[in-house]
Amino acid sequence: MPETPLSQEVEFRGGGFSPKPRRWMGFLVFILLIAFAEWGTRSGWISALVLPKPSDVLSTFGELYSSGLLFKHLLPSLSRLLMGGLMGVSIGISVGVL
């Protein structure tokens, strides 16, 4: 009687549930969020005090860039951001050490 092995090698038959890469999905979600914000602010569902219209933000950015005021106001804003971050880190480390 010929001997048959109890275990045999089985060929791999599929990829299981591995996700397929969708590189465009992040860009699509970003565009949809911007479109939703634009629609919400134009329809009055979202207050302009809470969230300005993305189209207004883009037009104001263009005006500030073309007039040269963007870079004039950028340095003070970035320095405030850096100082706030440094203060937060130093307070966080101080409290963490206690």
pLDDT in tens, 13-28: 666 666 677 788 899 9
> How much is the pTM?
0.59
Q: Which two tokens stand for residue 90?
A: 């130093």
Phi/psi of residue 34, each to 5°?
-65, -45
Amino acid letter at 29? V
pLDDT in tens, 52-96: 999 999 999 999 999 999 999 999 999 999 999 999 999 999 999
Q: What is the dihedral of CA 41, 44, 45, 47, to 10 degrees?
A: 70
CA atoms of 62 and 53, how far apart (whole Å): 14
